[in-house]
A and B are shown apart, each in its own frame.
Chain A
Amino acid sequence: MRSIRVFLVATIVAILILFNFVAALQGYQSSMREADKLFDNQMLVVAKLVANLDVTEEKLTELKLGSDLAFQIWQGDELLAASANTPNTRLREFVPGFDFINFNSYRWRALSQYEEMNDRWVIIAERTDLRFVLAENVVLQSILPLLLGIPIVGILVWILVSRGLAPLTSLSLALKRKPANDLSPLEFSDSRVELEQMLASINGFIARLEAAMDREKRFSADAAHELRTPISALKIQLHNLADSVDPKTPAYRELQDGIDRMQHLIEQLLSLYRSSPEQFEQNSKPVKLFDLVQELVARLYPEFEKKDQMISLEGDAEFEGEELVVNGDAFALETMLTNLMMNASRYTPKGGQIVVSLSRKAGRIRLVVEDDGIGIPEEDRARIFDRFTRLSSAQERGILGCGLGLAIVQHVATLHNTQVEVGPSRFATGSAFSIEFLPWAEREAKDMKDEKDLGA
């Protein structure tokens, strides 16, 4: 995911460096040109000085010129005087002005000047490489601080951007810390002009969500009451009908199946709506998974017995001295497990086997429900968790169901930050549903880490 902070720091520092460095280059070039002019002016002064020299031997030896400077004094074709580092020939033609020449294996900047008063031509030459180094050393003194300053600028930009983004980070943290069941408006004291609209939108959204939640809660309660009551009445009427109609007649059986199916569908729909994220947060607590599974196996045993099915529970309440505890909503987990086990029973023929196993795998708690039933073709595995999906193989066999069981299982798994995987079972036929939970202690640690990452 892209970070606003990295984007801002990278682009601001890049633009600063680019402009500063290009400006430094520009400054370097113009400073070097100015330094050249300065050196040329200096040569003009030296040329004037040399032109008026007394050319007797004694005076010339007093004149101490460095090896980077050379001169010749000509009168017509006669060389009156010259520095030791020049040849006896003319360094350049008698043309007034500056030029570049080569001698003594170096390149020189040369100046020729005619001195009318003494009728002399003076040629002054200065080594370009030494001139260049001298000029560059001066110019670089202004560029080096730029290079050294860049890391400091980078750190300052990072600090400033972080400070600028701090209210946004605080808002994210406040939102993350807000429990899912807390639908009160978000109070955020560190608000800025830029965040005001966002805060208003968030609080507006929370208010609308609260209203929607209230409607849904009322619907669930009303539906539970309004739909369950007539179905109970229908069941009583059906029971009474058995006194006057033979319960084995096809019409009676179909009526009974229809009422059972409707009751099941309503119960499943209510389970789906009851296991909402905010209720999950509210009811979330450590759940001993083994105890829950054991209790459910015992409770549902009569259902398996009806079909002569054998159900077994594998695993222990503890693994290496540690209890298998997950962070979750016991009611939602119970609904999920009941659906998985009843699903296994429904799609397994009489006398079949169902195994529920609990184990620790790679730091996670693994729950598997498998059977030797009709199984699920591989191409259908992706869609079995969709709501109201019933496979043709089940319909052909006349297996009752409303297509909501696995959707509920998936929904509960998602609430617990995990997912359901389906594959072949350990038997020759049948399927296995496996879910991996993060243990209680590790989940706590992960939540703390997520919070820390957000704050960083």
Chain B
Amino acid sequence: MFINGVVIVLQEILEAALMLSLLLSFLHYINRAYAGQTYMRRTWVTYSIVIGVLFAWIYSVNFSRVSEAFDYVGLEITNATIHSLSSLFLICIAWLVPSREHAGFQLNSGHRAQLLTVCMIAVVVLAILREGSEIFQFGGGVLGRDEATSILSGGLIGAGIGVCTGVLLYYALTGLPARLSLRACTLLLALTAGNMASQAVLLLTQADWISYSSTAWSSESLLSEASVVGQLAYALIGYESSPSWLQVGAYFIGGLFVLVSPISRTAWVNKAHWD
């Protein structure tokens, strides 16, 4: 029971924590690259977490009602919508992060900074809504049971590992030299956007809204999804050992939209101020 608590909470917390670390690393990059011109605050993070937790709780108490909608595939459809929106907002973030290509660009002019903050809030709220609702559902089922202490201890260990991995990822990303940090951030952003799109496709396939496509490959023997590394890879880059062709396509398209953004070109192609 203890190990179930660890695995379930770790999966959910790790994904949300890594997403938050990634966004905060982007903020750090903007504040470093545009020092003196602008300073994007991080106060929204607390509000986003509170709003996300509130939405997650509302969603979890209405799970049964939601699941009955759309001919009993309501949960799949709602989760697919949440994943699609997350992917969309992540792509928007990639296009809104100011790049060095915009000579004389002022982040504070216009509504770019506000739009960027709104997109980041949306991504965090959606991540916590998605992952938090499952933790609430899990916690609700555990309370009052004999094994509650053992499961909750497992949950705490899982949450601790997830949050600490997020903290270390943030400091690792922000501690890198500027160009390397931006490269890692944009790459992770592309992988996360692709992962969200791929998850949306998987959920829509499960709901039978999209017809099933054949399995593209199976790498279960190389890296099992159930292993610790497999779980970390799932949370970080959306690793699946046997994805369908449609999932692979969605992953590719989601990632591509990020990789063709100006900030990605700044990180990977153009000569920037740090060269």
Enumerate the 5 nearest inter-chain pairs by beta-carbon distance, A residue then B residue, closest first: A14-B164, A14-B167, A18-B164, A17-B164, A21-B157
Nearest residue, chain B, Cβ from A26: B228
Q: B147 to A143, Cβ gap below 8 A? A: no
Within 8 A of B (CB), among A1-44: 7, 10-11, 13-15, 17-18, 21-22, 24-25, 28-29
Q: A11 to B161, Cβ gap below 8 A? A: no
23 A/B residue pairs, CB under 8 Å, sorted by A: A7-B171, A11-B171, A17-B160, A18-B160, A18-B165, A21-B157, A21-B161, A21-B164, A22-B161, A24-B157, A25-B3, A25-B6, A132-B1, A133-B1, A133-B147, A137-B150, A139-B2, A140-B149, A140-B150, A140-B153, A143-B2, A143-B153, A144-B153
User: Which B residues are in CB contact (< 8 Å) with A22?
Assistant: 161
Flag A122-165 by CB within 8 Å of B: 1 or 0 each.
00000000001100110110011001001000000000000000
Could you list which residues of chain A lie within 8 angstroms of chain B, going by C-beta atoms? 7, 10-11, 13-15, 17-18, 21-22, 24-25, 28-29, 132-133, 136-137, 139-140, 143-144, 147, 150
Known contacts A7-B171, A10-B171, A28-B3; is-contact A143 B164 (Cβ 8 Å): no
Q: What separation, in Å, do the CA atoms of A137 and B151 have in the docked complex?
A: 11
Q: Is the interface of B mostly helix, strand, loop or mixed?
A: helix
Known contacts A28-B2, A28-B3, A144-B153; is-contact A15 B164 (Cβ 8 Å): yes
- How far apart are B1's CB and chain A's nearest CB, in angstroms? 7
Q: B168 near A: Cβ within 8 Å?
A: yes
User: Which B residues are in CB contact (< 8 Å) with A133?
Assistant: 1, 146-147
Nearest residue, chain B, Cβ from A15: B168
Given contacts A24-B157, A133-B1, 15 further A-B contacts (CB under 8 A): A10-B171, A11-B167, A13-B164, A14-B164, A14-B168, A15-B168, A17-B161, A18-B164, A21-B160, A25-B157, A28-B3, A136-B150, A139-B2, A143-B2, A144-B153
User: Which A residues are in CB contact (< 8 Å) with B49?
Assistant: none
Q: What separation, in Å, do the CA atoms of A136 and B163 have in the docked complex?
A: 25
User: Which B residues are in CB contact (< 8 Å) with A29?
Assistant: 3
User: Which A residues are in CB contact (< 8 Å) with B163?
Assistant: 14
Known contacts A25-B6, A28-B2; is-contact A18 B153 (Cβ 8 Å): no
User: Which A residues are in CB contact (< 8 Å) with B6?
Assistant: 25
Q: B2 to A136, Cβ gap below 8 A? A: yes
Nearest residue, chain B, Cβ from A132: B1
